[in-house]
């Protein structure tokens, strides 16, 4: 507990401002929720990207939106490193593929490899170079200039959800890639030790001939329980 006395009242509360609530009527509410579902339902993880460059400004808006996510104690423990330089992407690919060869060849259990088999993934990660941009998302832990974060994984996960949703509605495809371990990302991205790589997200237009697995999403009845 923070000890407070009359002479030391402890940390000051945030000043407050009026909420600017969204004014949505009950009728509009369902329409809007359904329309947003229709948009999100079309998002697919894409592994084949076009070389076409990204439109101006989209990444900035997507990162601004990601950064509106709620976070433990409002610490905002995230950093988004955008790689577009071909040489930098090449180094990223090289280091990621070295880890992935280790993963697929040695570290992954048979159970894990069996679960992945239907996706057809392997240690080749050409998309890290093909995609015009790769966003590397870091968790920011306690360091010389950064406070201790709380619920770090949850906070950064929600922010990445916002990021993927924003890019999708802007017409761009993404891949949530998670090489493991991710320590090599600090060197490739020139980030200090208190930052820990969490996601590698290639972003771009899908290749014209891109195909995706014919996956089904669980029906509502299976994922939602109303008590």
Q: How far is the CB of 178 from ligand IYR (least distance, A)?
A: 5
Least spacing, CB of residue 157 vs ligand IYR, in Å: 14
Q: Please report how close the Cβ of residue 176 comes to ligand IYR at its closest, in angstroms.
A: 8
Binding footprint of ligand IYR on the chain (CB under 6 A):
100, 103, 116, 119, 121, 177-180
Q: Which residue has its beta carbon closest to ligand IYR?
A: 121
Cα four-point dihedral sign 181, 184, 188, 190: positive
The nearest distance, CB 39 to ligand IYR, in angstroms, is: 23
Q: Which is nearer to ligand IYR, 1 or 215 (CB)?
A: 215
149-166 burial, b if ≥16 CB within 10 A, otherwise e? Answer: beebeebbbbbbebbbbb
Closer to ligand IYR at the Cβ: 215 or 227? 215
Write phi, then psi, for 163 (nearest 5 degrees): -60, -50
Question: How many other CB atoms are found less than 10 A from the CB of residue 185?
Answer: 24
Identify which of residues 100 and 139 has a Cβ nearer to ligand IYR in the complex. Answer: 100
CA distances from 152 to 106, 144, 149, 196 (A): 29, 18, 6, 11
Nearer to ligand IYR, 15 or 105 (CB): 105
Half-sphere exposure of 172 (CA within 13 A, CB side): 27
The minimum distance between CB 73 and ligand IYR, in angstroms, equals 30
Please calculate the CA angle 94-47-171 and round it to the nearest 5 degrees: 120
Give 149 or 197: the residue with its C-beta nearer to ligand IYR.
197
């Amino acid at each position: 507990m923070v000890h407070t006395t009359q002479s030391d009242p402890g940390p000051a509360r945030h000043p407050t401002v009026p909420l600017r609530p969204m004014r949505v009527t009950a009728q509009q509410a369902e329409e809007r929720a359904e329309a947003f579902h229709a948009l999100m339902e079309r998002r697919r993880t894409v592994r084949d990207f076009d070389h076409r460059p990204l439109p101006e400004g989209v990444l900035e808006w997507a990162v601004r939106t990601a950064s509106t996510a709620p976070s433990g104690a409002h610490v905002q423990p995230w950093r988004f490193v955008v790689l577009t330089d071909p040489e930098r992407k090449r180094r990223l690919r090289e280091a990621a593929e070295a880890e992935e060869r280790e993963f697929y060849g040695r570290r992954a259990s048979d159970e894990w490899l069996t679960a992945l088999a239907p996706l057809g993934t392997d240690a080749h990660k050409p998309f890290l170079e093909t995609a015009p941009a790769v966003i590397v998302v870091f968790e920011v832990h306690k360091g010389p200039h950064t406070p201790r974060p709380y619920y770090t994984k949850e906070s950064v996960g929600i922010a990445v959800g916002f990021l993927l949703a924003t890019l999708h509605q802007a017409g761009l495809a993404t891949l949530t890639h998670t090489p493991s371990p991710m320590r090599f990302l600090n060197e490739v991205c020139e980030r200090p030790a208190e930052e820990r790589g969490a996601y590698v997200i290639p972003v771009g237009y899908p290749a014209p001939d891109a195909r995706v697995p014919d996956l089904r999403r669980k029906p509502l009845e299976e994922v939602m329980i109303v008590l």
